[in-house]
Amino acid sequence: MVVRLQQAAFDFGAEANTFAAGRRDAGAIVTFTGITRDLNRGGLDRMEIEHYPGMTERALQAIESEARARWALADCLIIHRFGTMAPGDPIMMVATAARHRAEAFAAAEFLMDYLKSRAPFWKKEVTATGESWVESQDTDEAALKRW
C-alpha cells in the first residue's frame, strides 16, 4: 500500500514490475498510467501541474483507504506527479492487485475517478501562443456517482 506524490518522473514499467514482484496472493494486477497528451497537434510545449501541499497527500491517502475498504485488495499503488511535464511524460499511475480481475479493475477505475476530481491538482497547458487551465468536465463529476 503505497501513495507517492512527487515531482520527479517515474518509469511505469519498472514500477509495475516492482509492484508485481514476488506476489503470490493475487490472480489479477491492473495498472493505469496517465500520460501528458498533446491535443494541440505538436503545439503543446509543456503541462504544469499545481497542487495543494498537505491537502493533496491527505486526499491521496483517503482515496487509497477508501478503495481498500471497498474491495479486498492484496495491494494498491498510487503515484501522482506535480510540476512541469513534457508531452509524452507520465503524470500518474495506479496499480491494484486482487484475487480476481473484477475487483482489480473496479478498484483501479474508482481510484482514477476520484483522483480526477477529488485530489487537489490543477493542470495548465502551455503552448507557443499562450497558456490555459484545463477545465474539469461534467462527466468527471458524474463518474463519481456510480460508486
Partner 1 sequence: MIDVLYFAWVRERIGLPKERVETDAATVADLVEELKAREERYAAAFADLSSLRVAVDQDLTEFDAPLDGAREVAFFPPMTGG
| Interstrand relation of 2-6 and 28-35 (parallel, antiparallel or unpaired) | unpaired
Nearer to partner 1, 32 or 45 (CB): 32
Residue from the set 15, 34, 77, 107 that interacts with partner 1 by CB under 8 A: 34
What span, in angstroms and rounded, lies between the C-alpha atoms of 87 and 66? 31
Q: Does 30 interact with partner 1 (rule: CB under 8 A)?
A: no
Stretch that binds partner 1, among 7-15, 18-26, 66-74, 111-119 (CB under 8 A): 111-119
Residue 56's closest CA among 119, 8, 125, 109?
119
Q: Does 134 interact with partner 1 (rule: CB under 8 A)?
A: yes
Binding to partner 1 by CB under 8 A, coded x per residue (else -) over 74-103, reads ------x----------xx-----------
Facing residues of 75 across strands? 97
Residue from the set 16, 66, 123, 126 that interacts with partner 1 by CB under 8 A: 123
Q: Which residues have C-beta within 8 Å of that of residue 30, sequence separation ≥ 6?
A: 95, 96, 101, 104, 105, 107, 108
Point out which residues bind partner 1 (CB under 8 A): 34, 50, 52, 54-55, 58, 80, 91-92, 112, 115-124, 133-136, 140-141
